[in-house]
Structure 1
């Protein structure tokens, strides 16, 4: 059974989501180690959500309670957020609805900015992280791969991705009225990951030319060379930040990379290096109150926060963080969203049907083995020289198992796989070994060997 423990901007406050985003790489392994009935775990953590996806062994009593306990204990151990504090800020999704939920998330339907494109890459990376830690499972692989397919279907068939905006584009929209000329703006980009690349694209779309990159992890020079940017190292970071009209941070660092002290020190260094220029700029701003004409905008897209809130106390500095950005998120584009949700529902229904068919495969194999076993014994008893008896019996058995095989597919599509398995047991005394049971048995055989 699939299970998801999910907290997002719809259920939890920003401060809690920020705390949940720290040390998330440790969570999936802790979940997987909790109990033998946990077959796999994938953790998806973004700036607006935290989700743990679990593949649970269905026959276990109270499997949902075990899965939720595994997730909560792992979250507490890795992030320090205990179950009592988390209570009321998450919800649990189980069974077939898990697929529809993840497909909606991957398609941007549950994002702050509906239709934003960054989430698709984050979903793919979450599965990659689980693979690296060895916590994925065949069912979770299938779930996340189908989620990517659903996302592409929504993107190709609806206008949602064109209607939606990324968080960085929304932040730039909010700043636009106070920017006189984007091409004159001095921009500092802090971060070099996938989100930094999306941020760079958004800046260039607006005409920003003077962009410098800094990487707290030391990858700034490589990123700058690849994208044709200037770059600064740790020694020049404070001065570059103080000289910038726009600073955008989007790193995965678990600490503040910019605070009031850094800006103040940077301004002091600039004043010493270019006192006359600094005095002239402060005396004759191009447009008082504008970014690029007397004020600096700091946009913090990091989670955990990259920027200490105290930067807002520095004269002439405005801070725009995720909490503020999401307050200005646009309403859903209703028509595009409705079409996208229909695509997601269809994809989730297909996912469930395929799962039901896979679950019934052992039952069909067991039935056919049972019937053909009887056939072989009868052939052996009645075998004659010309083979006509054997041919007739094989034809008869083929006709007998045809309809039960077709019915298996039909019942799987209707979500009634359990009815088919129960009927085999009631009519023939056949109890097929399901996929997990076969895996366990093979493991025991290997161990004993």
Structure 2
């Protein structure tokens, strides 16, 4: 087994390229499994700043050939030329290290953000539902989650709610009065919606409504103490809101100029004095956190609207402290080495299973030889069966011990016993062998 990681992200390929490829993510795992028969497993991780493919393939599969097949498949789905799909590739230990660094937020737009770890776990659940999840990919993602928690616990990177959502809200706050008095409308109930509610609550925002075209708004709102907005209520909710945050990213804008313009005009015609004071002199701030825009670009040109999109958030991201990043990188290196050792151990699983099966067969054969009278076995018969079993199990090791000594490899045999039986038992056996006998 070899783990491969192919990725397009905000730093290397840019947000536009990620958006084009991200639009192909639906059902991508099963399609890749069908197009590339050598694959044993696929996890597709799509976020606001990356599309990453975690692949499990046999060791005999060449990394370059696998990358080419996957790239060709993505190009066809995105209706692009193959040479226009530029994926960064890692293989083996490098892929594991990159996965762990990604889960720890070290490759995120906001270094140290925690949302990515949850997104990775959700991607694994989707892979399980689509039957593209392999055992080794499961182990890799679980260990990546462990690495993420360790980085969060042992460094300060995750402090102060570092995330794309947090940076976006702080950017929006520059154009708003104190946030505790702001009315917020969240559009979408996807992966970022929950993080958005959490970030708003941390800033003491209490007036939060949620709208979703998928009819999930009611369930999302009830579970979080929010107000759900129906389709017919959306224009009024836009008119009343001070801050609109969109986080759907389903490929087509949900907030169009045609929808938003009347709401903005209505904000200037509020007759109620309190409402006029609350909304009349404020811009409508729209924060679009979706990779594939939820808000038409033309909305930003409307008078009284301040549109903040993902590239704007990217430019506003504060730099992480180098010392904390270095500490996180060391943790990733340690956990990568630990995972690789674990994988090496797992490669012996078939041997262990075969060994257990062999011993179980011997036991069953001895049990079959026993005479059972009235549901009982004579103690003497049981003892003889156990002695016979021990003799059978020790026959080959005994013959091998003598053969090793005759070949001058007695010490090699004793060293092997140390590995097989453990230090204490092997030490007793070493004492039983004179230097000449172990030669």
- Category of TM-score, reference length = shorter chain: 0.7 to 0.9
1:174 and 2:166 correspond: no
1:321 and 2:320 equivalent?
Answer: no
Alpha-carbon spacing, 1:206–1:365, altered in 2? closer, same or farther (3 Å): closer
Aligned to 1:374: none
Q: Does 1:276 align with 2:271?
A: yes
Please list the CA deviations of residues 249-295 of structure 1 after superposition, one character each: whole Å capped at 9, or x if unmatched.
01142210102111113345677xx66349993xxx67xxxx88321
Instruction: Specify the alignment match of 1:340 in structure 2.
Output: 328
| 2:118 matched residue in structure 1 | 121
The unaligned stretches of length 5 or more in structure 2 are: 359-386, 405-412, 421-439
What's the secondary structure of 2:158's corresponding residue?
helix
**1:144, CA displacement in angstroms?**
1.0
1:250 to 2:252 alignment:
no
For structure 1, list consecutive stretches of 5 or more residues without a partner in the other structure.
371-385, 409-449
- Using a 3 Å threshold, how does the CA distance of structure 1 residues 341 and 225 change in structure 2: closer, same or farther? same
Within 5 Å, which residues of 2 pair with 1:127-206? Answer: 127-162=124-159, 165-206=162-203
Q: Which residue of 201, 214, 220 maps to 1:223?
A: 220
Q: 1:391 to 1:207 in 2, by over 3 A?
A: closer
1:414-429 alignment, distance < 5 Å: none
Q: Summarize the Cα distance change of 1:366–1:221 in structure 2 as closer, same or farther, 3 Å threshold.
A: closer
Task: Tell me what 1:10 maps to.
Answer: 11
SS of 2:40's partner is strand
* Change in 2 beyond 3 A, CA 1:237/1:93: same
* CA positional deviation for 1:359: 2.4
- 2:318 is equivalent to residue 330 of structure 1: yes
Q: What are the superposed Cα offsets for residues 302-360 of structure 1, whole Å, 9 maximum, x if unpaired?
A: 12211111111110111111111011111122222111111111111011112122224
Work out the CA distance in 2 between the residues paired with 1:200 and 1:50: 24
1:17 and 1:48 in contact (8 A); partners too: yes
Q: CA deviation at 1:224?
A: 2.0
In structure 1, C-alpha distance between the alignment counterparts of 2:218 and 2:35, rounded to whole Å: 42
Greater mean deviation of Cα atoms: 139-148 or 162-171: 162-171
Tell me the distance in 2 between the aligned counterparts of 1:64 and 1:152.
30
Query: Residues 48-100 of structure 1, C-alpha deviation per residue, up to 9 Å, x if partnerless?
Result: 1111111111124xx2133112321332233334422123xx31101111111
Q: How many equivalent pairs are there?
A: 381
Distance change in 2, residues 1:398/1:146 (3 Å): farther
8 A Cα contact 1:238 1:266, kept in partner: yes
- 1:344-383 alignment, distance < 5 Å: 344-360=332-348, 362=350
Is this contact kept in 1: 2:56–2:136, CA < 8 A? yes
User: Does residue 22 of the first structure (1) align with residue 10 of the second (2)?
Assistant: no
Residue 307 (structure 1) aligns with = 295
Match of 2:58 in 1: 57
Greater radius of gyration (CA): 2
Q: Equivalents in 2 of 1:155, 1:191: separation in Å?
A: 28
- What is the Cα-based RMSD across aligned positions, in Å? 3.1
Give 3-state SS (helix, strand or coil) of 2:186's partner. strand
| TM-score, structure 1 as length reference | 0.77
CA distance in 1, matches of 2:26, 2:12: 22
Question: What residue number does 2:415 align with?
Answer: 403
